[in-house]
Amino acid sequence: MALVDFSKEGAVGVITINNPPVNALSSAVTADLALAVDKAEDASVRAVVIKGGKHFAAGADINEFQAVFEGTDEGRLAGELSTTISRLESLAKPVIAAINGFALGGGLEVAMGADFRYMAQDSKVGQPEVKLGIIPGAGGTQRLARLVGWSKAKDIVFTGRSVAADEALAIGLADRVLAPDDVVSVAMEDAATFASGPTQAIAAAKAAMHRGWGQAATSGLNHELEEFQRLFQTNDAREGVAAFLEKREPGFAGD
C-alpha cells in the first residue's frame, strides 16, 4: 500500500497521507507525496483536498536525521519535501488542507502549501524544529511569515510552541475551524464547489497572486494584466459573459 494515496471524487483529487500512527514524513512518504502531486496535475482534477487520518502529519521522521549527522543525507530529505510542497503550492487549481490532530514541522509546511487550511477544533499546528536545535527546512520560515506576519511567525518558530485551532484562525493560519468529524466533509464540499466553477479564472488569479508576491507593484500589475488578457481566449470566459448577458447560470467546463 502506498504511504500517500491519490483518489478522485468527481473532479476533486484527494491526497491522503497514510503512514500511521502520526503520519511522520519519512523519505518514502515524501516520495509518494510527489507521485500524488503528479496525479493531481492532471487536467481532469479541478480542485484538490489533502488530508491525513487521525493526524494530518506530525513532522519529519526523526529517525532519519541520523543520516545527516553521518554525512550521508545532507539536506536531501528537506530539499525533496520543499520541492514537492512548492509543486503543490503551484498547482493551477485550488488546494484545501483538511487538518485533524497534529500538523507539526513538515506537516505544517505541507499544509501551508495549500491555498486554504481547515482545522478541527481540537487540532494543533506548529514548527517545533527549534526544540531539536534546528529550524524548519521545507518552507516554514518563509510561508509562515507570509500568512501570519513577521512578528507572529518569529514567535511560533523561535519558541517551537504548538498553536491551537482558535488561535490559528485568529492569526490567519487557519481559514475555517470545524468539528473534527466535519473537517474532511466540508473541505470536500468546498473543493467540489471550486471544481464546478470557473477554474481557468481561479488558476489565473492564483498565478498572478503568486508571481506578484514580493515583487514591485508594477511587476505584480503586469502579471495580473497578462492573466486577465489571456482569459479572454478561454471558453470559460466566453461562457461566463454569455451567461450573464442571457441571465442564466453559467456552466464552466474548465477550458
Whether residues 65 and 81 fall in one domain: yes
Residue 118 predicted with pLDDT over 60: yes
Q: Which of 25-39, 57-71, 95-109, 173-187 has the lowest mean pLDDT?
A: 57-71
For residue 70, name the pLDDT band (cuts at 50, 70, 90).
Answer: low
3-state secondary structure (DSSP) of residue 62: helix
pLDDT of residue 123: 97
CATH of the domain at 219: 1.10.12
For residue 86, name the pLDDT band (cuts at 50, 70, 90).
Answer: very high
Give the residue-averaged pLDDT of 160-178.
98
Q: What is the mean pLDDT of the chain?
A: 91
Calpha distance 36→31 (Å, rounded): 9
Structural contact between residues 235 and 243, judged by C-beta atoms closer than 8 angstroms: no
Residue 152, number of CB atoms within 10 A of its CB = 17
Whether residues 52 and 142 fall in one domain: yes
pLDDT of residue 237: 87
For residue 238, the one-letter residue type is: R
253 is a domain residue = no
CATH of the domain at 174: 3.90.226.10
Whether residues 98 and 187 fall in one domain: yes
Residue 126 predicted with pLDDT over 90: yes
Segment 217-240, tens digit of pLDDT: 888 788 888 888 888 898 888 888
Whether residues 122 and 212 fall in one domain: no
User: Which candidate in 129, 224, 246, 249 is catalytic?
Assistant: 129
pLDDT of residue 225: 85
Whether residues 171 and 239 fall in one domain: no
Give the residue-averaged pLDDT of 108-129.
97
pLDDT of residue 22: 93
Whether residues 213 and 146 fall in one domain: no
pLDDT of residue 75: 54
Segment 19-50, tens digit of pLDDT: 999 999 988 999 999 999 999 999 999 999 99
Domain count, the chain: 2
> Is residue 129 flagged as an active site residue?
yes
Backbone dihedral region for residue 214 (phi beyond 0: left; psi -120 to 50: alpha; all else: beta)? left
- What are 91's three cell numbers? 498547482
Which alpha helices (DSSP H) does the chain contain, by range?
27-40, 66-69, 76-89, 106-112, 140-148, 150-159, 165-171, 183-195, 199-212, 217-231, 235-245
> Is residue 109 flagged as an active site residue?
yes
User: Which candidate in 70, 74, 109, 249 is catalytic?
Assistant: 109
Give the residue-averaged pLDDT of 9-21.
96
Give the residue-averaged pLDDT of 2-8.
95
Domain interval for residue 234? 199-245
Characterize 116-130 residue by residue with b for buried, 16 or more Cβ atoms within 10 angstroms of its Cβ, and e for exposed. bbbbbeebbbbbbbe
pLDDT of residue 221: 86
- What are 76's three cell numbers? 536531501
Rg (CA), the chain: 19
For residue 72, name the pLDDT band (cuts at 50, 70, 90).
Answer: low
Give the residue-averaged pLDDT of 138-151.
95
Give the residue-averaged pLDDT of 95-119.
97
For residue 95, name the pLDDT band (cuts at 50, 70, 90).
Answer: very high
Contacts with 210 (C-beta within 8 Å, 6 or more apart), sequence order: 89, 90
Kindly tell me the sign of the dihedral angle through the C-alpha atoms of 225, 227, 228, 232: positive
Q: Higher pLDDT residue, 77 or 170?
A: 170
Report the percent of the chain where pLDDT is more than 70: 93
178 is a domain residue = yes
